[in-house]
Amino acid sequence: MGFFDKIKKAFTGEEVETTEVTEKYEKGLEKTRKSFSERMNELFANFRTVDEDFFDELEEVLIGADVGFDTTMEITDALRQEVKLRNAKNQGAVQEAIIEKLVEIYEKGEPEKPEINLNPDGLTIMLFVGVNGVGKTTTIGKLAHQYQAEGKKVLLAAGDTFRAGAIDQLVVWGERVGVDVVHGVPGGDPAAVVYDAVKQAKSEHADILMVDTAGRLQNKVNLMNELEKMKRIIEREVPGAPHEVLLVLDATTGQNAMIQAKQFKETTDVTGLVLTKLDGTAKGGIVLAIRNELHIPVKLVGLGEGMDDLQEFDPSEYVYGLFSQLLLKNEEK
């Protein structure tokens, strides 16, 4: 189903196919949807005409969902024009215009679902970056489990040697999902660990090597230098690698996640984002803010604590999950 097809079907009252993925998104976005839908319903209940006061209130709703100031202004400015063009006056028409604009802002000319870049000709290497405590190690463990379940041979590398706890955590995850972990000693050279891991992955004909990295060093320059050193070794050993540099962010931290994303974008070439704990926040609009302001695709989202609740990000499922309650009300009218 196309990027916007599911939402259009819901608007026209057609039956929408409910898949396991749809259910995960609906459940995972429950807190955001409840908060968002309640405020949107209040907004439409209080306004009989789509005037400037309506747009002021809409801006507050979007900012309250952590869509971000710049993105909110872009959406509402575009909506003013769209509502005039369509002469949209009833609730359903205005809602449809709002949703279409949100989808367009996410798409940014890239309508395809963003997917993890896997090397079709051999070893895929992924670097995971992000501050401590965002769920980096858990993300690696869950993803390793999923790839292994698909029949792929996976290897992990404990590149965060600056925290003894980080090494232990990854080793525990490795044991839990039955995957080998290459690690050194606390305080050791992370680049040496990465070198050993790449050598082992190649000798064992592994399909995927996932590398954990330090979340914070003494300063940004040190962090950048360490990441660049790792990338040089990886590229030398496997031309074209790393195939992904995934920045892991905690969705519950809202605008702090945006600040972290900006900082990491300055220090390394981030190819995609992982938003963890999306199910734990009422402000899931941060997905739109990050995408719009940083132009980095969200590739994975955490929609629960279960091993299979880490999902490839599907923009249409996300938008549908965010608006399904409003769409349902629209169908009933």
The CATH number for 172's domain is: 3.40.50.300
Q: Is 66 contained in some domain?
A: yes
Helix (DSSP H) and strand (DSSP E) numbers for the chain? 13, 8
Averaged pLDDT, 84-98: 75
Return all residues near 89 (Cβ < 8 A) that are at least 6 apart: 49, 50
Together in a domain, 28 and 164: no
**Residues 96, 154 within the same domain:** no
d(CA 319, CA 284): 10
Determine if residue 135 is labeled as part of a ligand binding site: yes
Q: Is 214 annotated as a binding residue?
A: yes
Contacts of 77 (CB under 8 A, 6+ apart): none
Q: CA 276, CA 298: separation in Å to the nearest integer?
A: 11
**Do 168 and 285 fall within a single domain?**
yes
Q: What is the pLDDT of residue 207?
A: 98
Known binder of ligand: residue 212? Answer: yes
Give the 3-state secondary structure of residue 157: strand
Both 164 and 205 in a single domain? yes
Phi first, then psi, for residue 311 (nearest 5°) are: -120, 150
In angstroms, the CA 247 to CA 261 distance is: 7
Determine whether the annotation assigns residue 216 to a binding site: yes
Residue 213 sits in the same domain as residue 285: yes
Q: Does the annotation list 133 as a binding residue?
A: yes
CATH number for the domain that contains residue 24? 1.20.120.140
- CA contacts within 13 A on the Cβ side of 147: 21
**What is the tally of structural domains in the chain?**
2
How confident is the model at residue 213, as a pLDDT?
93
| 283 annotated as ligand-binding | no
Q: Sorting pLDDT into bands at 50, 70 and 90, what band is 329?
A: low
220 and 257 share one domain: yes
Residues 131, 60 share a domain: no
Residue at 29 is within a domain? yes
Tell me the C-alpha distance between 204 and 196, whole Å.
Answer: 12
68 is a domain residue:
yes
Whether residue 159 is annotated as binding a ligand: the answer is no
Condensed to tens digits (0 to 9), the pLDDT of residues 272-326 reads 999 999 888 877 888 888 888 888 889 999 998 888 899 998 887 887 777 776 6
Instruction: Please list the residues that pair with 209 across neighbouring strands.
Output: 125, 155
C-alpha to C-alpha distance for 255 and 327, rounded to whole angstroms? 28
Does residue 324 share a domain with residue 235?
Answer: no
Amino acid code (one letter) for 261: A
3-state SS assignment for residue 90: coil
Domain span including residue 105: 5-112+318-332
Please give the Cα distance from 278 to 305 (Å, whole number). Answer: 10
CB 237 within 8 A of CB 191: no
Domain assignment of residue 181, yes or no: yes
- 160-166 mean pLDDT: 87
Q: Is residue 117 part of a domain?
A: no
Contacts of 13 (CB under 8 A, 6+ apart): 331
Inform me whether the pLDDT recorded for 193 exceeds 90. Answer: yes
Same domain, 152 and 96: no
| Residue 268 confidence (pLDDT) | 85
What span, in angstroms and rounded, lies between the C-alpha atoms of 321 and 6? 11
Tokens, residue 326: 């409003």
The pair of structure tokens assigned to 306 is 């279960």
Confidence of residue 255 (pLDDT cuts 50, 70, 90): confident
Query: How far apart, in whole angstroms, are the C-alpha atoms of residue 300 and residue 272?
Result: 8
134 is in an annotated binding site: yes
Kindly report whether the global pTM for this prediction surpasses the value 0.95.
no
Write phi, then psi, for 161 (nearest 5 degrees): -90, 0
Q: Residue 322: helix, strand or coil by DSSP?
A: helix
Least confident of 49-63, 122-136, 159-173, 311-325: 311-325
Q: Report yes or no on 149 lying in a domain.
A: yes
137 marked as binding residue: yes
Same domain, 143 and 174: yes
Asked whether residue 181 falls in the same domain as residue 193, the answer is yes
Residue 86 within any structural domain of the chain: yes
Residue 136 annotated as binding site: yes
For residue 133, give the nearest of 297, 37, 256 by alpha carbon. 256
The pLDDT assigned to 116 comes to 94
Tell me what pLDDT residue 13 has.
56
277 is in an annotated binding site: yes
pLDDT at residue 147 in the model: 97
Q: Are residues 54 and 154 in the same domain?
A: no
Per the annotation, does 130 bind a ligand? Answer: yes
